[in-house]
Structure 1
Amino acid sequence: MIITDYDLYEVPPRWLFLRLETSDGIVGWGEPVVEGRARTVRTAVEELLDTYLLGKDPMRIEDHWQTMYRGGFYRGGPILMSAIAGIDQALWDIKGKHHDMPVYELLGGKARDRMRVYQWVGGDRPEGVADAAREKVEEGFTALKMNATAELRRVDSPSAVQAAEDRLAAVRDAVGEKIDIGVDFHGRVSKSMAKKLAAALEPYDPMFIEEPVLPEHNDALPELASHTTTPIATGERMFSRWDFKEVFEDGCVDIIQPDLSHAGGITEVKKIASMAEAYDVAMAPHCPLGPIALAACLQVDACAPNALIQEQSLDIHYNETSDVLDYLKDPTVFQYHDGYVDLPEGPGLGIDIDHSYVRMQAGEVNWHNPVWRHDDGSVAEW
């Protein structure tokens, strides 16, 4: 069996799907994308497939991963690692289908029977979060996540901190003490403001504060950790086990959030999860993406003892015109109940992509994140 052909589909709202075909007719799906850079990643995927992977045996996944990563003098970063991630997902999908079992069975078998999930509430500039939170809890979710703030200046006013505190207080009041609430700083916050915000939000007992500073400022995390008892989460913009080494060694992060479509796919994130376990760090994979990425996450969640909770993008504010379940022949594979989702039991990634719907939706996806500016006209972090 060899890899014979592939197709790439840009589909709304902001995703890129890879369809990888073998000589015996098995098809594997992957989701290689950087949100807002679909065309750039598409080119990287084409380069890896055309110059290396076509004609190869799809079963040798580890060797292919090493070749795609180490075969280039320049390596790492969001584009290359996302291209590798989507190819890796498709290869595991093929291997699972070949052996007629879920990927997690090939990775050692299940460490759990279902996976807890959280639901996003509010938008980029969070508003109406209390009502949205109440609604999602009524739907059965037991964990939520919200943005902490809109844009912030490097040293902002007490009113900006108070507004964030008031929003979280309103959500906590709406849902009570039994519901977990993750608060995403989204890299919008300078280290000076992160200390103030963490202190202000701590009385409302957030499940975690996410990406309190940008990854290029991870050296500030130990000091921040010394100022709060709230668990610190980060990692969606870290792309390999080598990127995570420093935060593990510093002992400042409680939850890591690698993205299965950015951090080298199933092969790499399984290794990152094992590294985290050795440092007593939990994992909550980042996944504001499509159904293939979510299915890949659940394969690793299934066999990672330290997997804590899973992000998923159903009804997220980015998903305009299409949503996660629209691309599946059987959307019940991701049925949420009591705050959990059952692990997919089908072979490979455990999902059946509706190829005809993908083709119908495919076209140029022109999604880019907004560029925010402060009152003085300078660029703000989004």
Structure 2
Amino acid sequence: MLKEHNATGDNRRDFLRKSALGGLSLGMMFNGNPAKEVEFLSQKVKRSSSPSDLKITDLRIATVVRAPMTCPIIRIDTNQGISGYGEIRDGASAKYGLFLKSRLLGKNPCTPEMLFKDIKQFGGHGRAAGGVCGVEMALMDLAGKAYGVPAYQMLGGKYRDYVRIYGDTPTLPDPVEFAKKMKERQDLGLTFLKMDFGVGLLKNHPHTVVGGLNTDYTRQWGDPPKMKGNARSYSQTKHPFSGIQITDEGIEIMANFVHEVRKSVGYEVPLAADHFGHFGVNTAIRLANAIEKYRLAWLEDMVPWFYTDQWKQITEAVNTPTLTGEDIFLKEEFIKLIDARAVDMVQPDLASSGGLIETKKIGDYAEERGIPMAMHFAGTPVSFMANVHCAAATENFVALEHHSFDVPWWEDMVTGIEKPIYKDGFVKVPETPGLGIDLNEKVVKEHLKDGTLYFAPTEEWNEIDSWDRTWS
């Protein structure tokens, strides 16, 4: 829990004095509206502070499940009673964040870029970046609260007041039922949709998949037992090595899913494609050309992101935009893809790409070279709002993924923000300090991972036991 105000310094005059030191005044913040001033002053969270004297005193984690993924939420506490929230990427270990605690204690959280440079060596592609990115989110939340400004302001200001979201949809085996589910998403008010129609849809259709007898090609996720003759399970086999090909009949069946969805949702809304399964470049090109007439917004992750030459081969062979990036850590690998013109769009996941500042840098680099940026996301409202601030501050932003439409308590995890969080396909960018949200302790506690506590003490992670410098 965030600490309440101390008795001293809670009067309006003291607050105005401190706010002025931070470059703000209530008059500027609320246009002279007394009711809004009172509402602000009566909040429990201490929003302004003495930033130069702020020090990190603790880091704790609460792990939420079925949101719809497992998501560890980070809380960083300080010596002035304000706390910042971040989130380790869905499916990643809480230890990725706990490991960093000893590197942060005693530091000033109002230097998020400098602290990120200190800890980014402990991140890696995919979920391995989760701790570093979650800490960066919490630092940006803290710095915003300390200075009394929203996180987007620390990224240079905002280009938009509303952030467009797109809805991802679970796969269903029947194309007509799948289309109905997509229409339900559209009826929520969404103006951008994404669908999964991978090779797994062909499971019960004979003569559609070449090479499927020797592997469980329906399992992209998880790690089932290794199949006879395979070095790894299908889910752990990189696309060029799976040996899977799709016949013309199989491609026709997959294309029919897109046909039925387009019939249902129309052509007024952009419709993107996600997760096709693990097969090589040639099959990817054949499938892309078969669905070209449906004018999809993008084709996502047709091969792994690090095969730059293969991405370039696909991009040059098809007319539908190509996109990748949700598992890339830091801007350097995005730069390689962009400079090679290997993809038409990039899609960082802020919880893997490096947090708000690094993702903003990725977007800016892409924007200068004429490349749009979508944003991948699957987690709680904490990471979601970090994405919203970054999207607001990035000019070439297209749309932000939302993965929790079917989780009825998702929005209830946070307070301090206008509800519903998304309306008519957009999210209003908050003007409150930091990420603009606080946690609802009761709801979060109801959805904790079994055997874990709500921000339990973590003293065992206090001490550094290694020399971290990477140069001599």
Distance 1:273 1:359 in 2: 35
Distance 1:177 1:109, change over 3 A: same
Q: Which residue of 2 aligns with 1:5?
A: 58
Distance 1:9 1:53, change over 3 A: same
Q: Which residue among 316, 341, 352 is the counterpart of 1:262?
A: 352
Q: Percent identity?
A: 28
Kindly indicate whether residue 217 of structure 2 is the aligned counterpart of residue 161 of structure 1: no
Q: Deviations over 1:233-270 (max 9, x none)?
A: 11001111112122111112122111111111112111
Q: Which residue of 2 aligns with 1:97?
A: 145
Contact kept in structure 1, 2:163 and 2:388, CA below 8 Å: yes
Larger Rg: 2
Distance 1:334 1:272, change over 3 A: farther
Q: Which residue of 1 aligns with 2:82?
A: 26
Which ranges of structure 1 fall in alignment gaps of 5 or more residues?
367-382
Contact kept in structure 2, 1:143 and 1:179, CA below 8 Å: yes
What secondary structure does 1:172 align onto?
A: helix
Report how far residue 299 of structure 1 moved: 0.8
Contact kept in structure 2, 1:101 and 1:347, CA below 8 Å: yes
Q: Deviations over 1:261-282 (max 9, x none)?
A: 1111112111111111122111
Distance 1:144 1:100, change over 3 A: same
Contact kept in structure 2, 1:118 and 1:310, CA below 8 Å: yes
Residues paired across the two proteins, number: 354
Q: Deviations over 1:35-74 (max 9, x none)?
A: 2x32xxx222112112x1011111111110111124x6xx
Q: Which residue among 87, 99, 107 is the counterpart of 1:47?
A: 99
1:329-344 equivalence runs, <5 A: 329=415, 332-333=418-419, 335-344=421-430
Distance 1:125 1:364, change over 3 A: farther
Kindly indicate whether residue 389 of structure 2 is the aligned counterpart of residue 299 of structure 1: yes
> Could you tell me which amino acid in structure 2 is paired with residue 26 of structure 1?
I
What secondary structure does 1:120 align onto?
A: strand
Kindly indicate whether residue 263 of structure 2 is the aligned counterpart of residue 173 of structure 1: yes
> Could you tell me which amino acid in structure 1 is paired with residue 60 of structure 2?
D
Distance 1:248 1:85, change over 3 A: same
Distance 1:312 1:221 in 2: 26
Which ranges of structure 2 fall in alignment gaps of 5 or more residues?
1-53, 201-216, 218-242, 453-472
TM-score of the superposed pair, with normalisation by structure 1: 0.87
Contact kept in structure 2, 1:124 and 1:150, CA below 8 Å: no
Report how far residue 126 of structure 1 moved: 7.7
Report how far residue 187 of structure 1 moved: 5.2
CA RMSD of aligned residues (A): 2.1
More contact order relative to length (CA 8 Å, sep ≥ 6) = 1
Q: Which residue of 2 aligns with 1:287?
A: 377
Contact kept in structure 2, 1:313 and 1:324, CA below 8 Å: no
Distance 1:353 1:315, change over 3 A: same
Report how far residue 330 of structure 1 moved: 5.2
Contact kept in structure 2, 1:45 and 1:87, CA below 8 Å: yes
> Could you tell me which amino acid in structure 1 is paired with residue 81 of structure 2?
G
Distance 1:125 1:98 in 2: 50
Q: Which residue of 1 aligns with 2:208?
A: none
